[in-house]
Amino acid sequence: MSRRPWRPRVGAAVAALVVVALGACSSSSPDEPSGPDLTTVRVGIGPFLDNQTLPLAQQLGFATEQGIKFEFKTLPSNDAIYQAVQTGQLDVGAGTIRGLVPLAQTAPTLRNYIIRDQFLGFFLVGRTEDDPPVYADLVDQGRAPEEAKTTVLRSWVGKTFNIVGSQNFAPIAAGLQAAGIDPESVKINNFADDAKAAAAFQSGEGDFYTGSLPIQSALLLDHPDDYVNVGGYEVLGPAGLAYDTWTTSQGWLDENPELALKVLAVVLKTSRYIDDNLDSAAPKLTDLVNTASAGSLPVDQVKLLATEFTDFLTPEDLTSKVFAPASPYYWQNEVKLDIEQSSPAPPADYDPAEVANAEEWFQKLRANSALMSWVNGPLN
């Protein structure tokens, strides 16, 4: 699905966003099927919306149709999930493309075998009174995307960014460099944490802010006349790409190739369901994420998060965007930058396509006509 860059909407419950983004560990409890013919897959998830696709799949009956019962364990971080997968306590867990690169030497058998969604929440916030060029507005006015991107990036020269430098300067610098702009042409106000950077920005210090999604969302949603999203991944290119995954071990894939394909099929059918039936999916996702996070996110905000901050990837998306080398959204565009920025660095013989072998498994699924017919079949 192609989604427009996020713009502020009126009436948002920002406090609920914060609860979901920072929610504590808890257990999700979707309707659990039972039966002697179901194969159990142990899945680690975090208390976040984009982690709820497999719980939703179980609730919808998609897992049961493929003979699977998911057994969920909610953990507080991707690192905790990686460790549980590595030690065999879990079969599959929520992860990211970026997350496995620094683990290449300590956890060499972990694999990102499914790319499930693209995170769209990294963007720069500017002040409307400063009238900064806004990518979405420029495109709406008829500018070509590349021209709009360059216009936004050039407008940053000489400007000051309120950020936590260790977390957020690298993608800004990489985006500037890709456009032939010296990263040292911008100024950085470096803060110890996002809250302090945002507070200084609200007090009038600096020209732009980026940080945690809840704080960015609060600025835009609570003060739509004062702040604007000037651009994110559309402007930063590979530096703004962020793919979320389902992570497993090579051992589990070797032992369960048919089961692994069925899990992938379930993920993609669920993405289609969310894509085509958001009004029906949103209340279910709301219940799941609120249970996992001990939060109180309203349904309208789940719709916002599921359309503007997260792109749940369908087979069409994977074919035309994620696994298309000519696409600006090609997954290896992200991982090449991740390798350059990784600390510790991966070994010299690191093979991204071996560690993130999602394209290989997607092609195996495409070759399975029966499973693909089911993925693309009726969603009821």
The pairing of strands 310-312 and 227-231 is unpaired
Query: Of 240, 273, 289, which marks where a domain is finished?
Result: 240
Q: State the pTM of this model.
A: 0.81
Examine the domain organization and report whether 369 and 253 are in the same domain.
yes
Question: Is residue 61, in this structure, part of any structural domain at all?
Answer: yes
Residue 309's pLDDT is 82
Question: Is residue 380, in this structure, part of any structural domain at all?
Answer: no
Examine the domain organization and report whether 57 and 45 are in the same domain.
yes
Examine the domain organization and report whether 217 and 251 are in the same domain.
no
Examine the domain organization and report whether 188 and 251 are in the same domain.
no
Q: Are 27 and 56 in contact (CB under 8 A)?
A: no
Which of residues 35 and 158 earns the better pLDDT score? 158
Q: How many domains does the chain have?
A: 2
The pairing of strands 68-74 and 227-231 is unpaired
Examine the domain organization and report whether 134 and 94 are in the same domain.
no
274 φ, ψ (degrees, to nearest 5): -60, -40
Residue 166's pLDDT is 77
Q: Are 305 and 49 in contact (CB under 8 A)?
A: yes
Q: Are 33 and 69 in contact (CB under 8 A)?
A: yes
Predicted confidence band of residue 36 (pLDDT cuts 50, 70, 90) = low
Examine the domain organization and report whether 105 and 248 are in the same domain.
yes
Examine the domain organization and report whether 350 and 249 are in the same domain.
yes
Per the rule left: phi > 0, alpha: psi between -120 and 50, beta: everything else, 294 is: left
Examine the domain organization and report whether 307 and 343 are in the same domain.
yes
Query: Of 225, 240, 255, which marks where a domain is finished?
Result: 240
Query: Of 240, 268, 286, which marks where a domain is finished?
Result: 240
Q: Are 92 and 44 in contact (CB under 8 A)?
A: yes
Which of residues 380 and 152 earns the better pLDDT score? 152
Examine the domain organization and report whether 207 and 248 are in the same domain.
no
Q: Are 208 and 170 in contact (CB under 8 A)?
A: no
Percent of the chain beyond pLDDT 90? 69
Question: Is residue 284, in this structure, part of any structural domain at all?
Answer: yes
Query: Mean pLDDT throughout 351-372?
Result: 97
Predicted confidence band of residue 217 (pLDDT cuts 50, 70, 90) = confident
HEC string for the chain: CCCCCCCCCCCCCHHHHHHHHCCCCCCCCCCCCCCCCCEEEEEEECCCHHHCHHHHHHHHCHHHHCCEEEEEEECCCHHHHHHHHHCCCCCEEEEEHHHHHHHCCCCCCEEEEEEEEEECCCCEEEEHHHCCCCHHHHHHCCCCHHHHHHHHHHHCCCCEEEECHHHHHHHHHHHHHHCCCCHHHCEEEECCCHHHHHHHHHCCCCCEECCCHHHHHHHHHHCCCCEEEEECHHHHHHHHCCEEEEEEEHHHHHHCHHHHHHHHHHHHHHHHHHHHCHHHHHHHHHHHHHHHHCCCCCHHHHHHHHHHHEEECCHHHHHHHHCCCCCCCCHHHHHHHHHHHCCCCCCCCCCHHHHCCHHHHHHHHHCCHHHHHHHCCCCC
Examine the domain organization and report whether 266 and 308 are in the same domain.
yes
pLDDT, tens only, 267-307: 999 999 999 999 999 999 999 999 998 888 889 888 888 88
Examine the domain organization and report whether 132 and 184 are in the same domain.
yes
Residue 154's pLDDT is 97
Name 326's bridge partners.
none
53 φ, ψ (degrees, to nearest 5): -70, -40
pLDDT over threshold 80, residue 233: yes
Question: Is residue 21, in this structure, part of any structural domain at all?
Answer: yes
Query: Mean pLDDT throughout 128-132?
Result: 97
Predicted confidence band of residue 30 (pLDDT cuts 50, 70, 90) = low
Question: Is residue 11, in this structure, part of any structural domain at all?
Answer: no
107 φ, ψ (degrees, to nearest 5): -140, 65
Which domain does 60 fall in, by range? Answer: 16-119+242-375
Predicted confidence band of residue 97 (pLDDT cuts 50, 70, 90) = very high
CATH number at residue 225: 3.40.190.10
pLDDT, tens only, 171-212: 899 899 989 999 999 999 999 888 899 999 999 999 999 987
pLDDT over threshold 80, residue 27: no
Question: Is residue 5, in this structure, part of any structural domain at all?
Answer: no
Predicted confidence band of residue 9 (pLDDT cuts 50, 70, 90) = very low
Examine the domain organization and report whether 231 and 323 are in the same domain.
no
Question: Is residue 9, in this structure, part of any structural domain at all?
Answer: no
Question: Is residue 1, in this structure, part of any structural domain at all?
Answer: no
Pairwise CA distance, residues 365 & 377, whole Å: 15
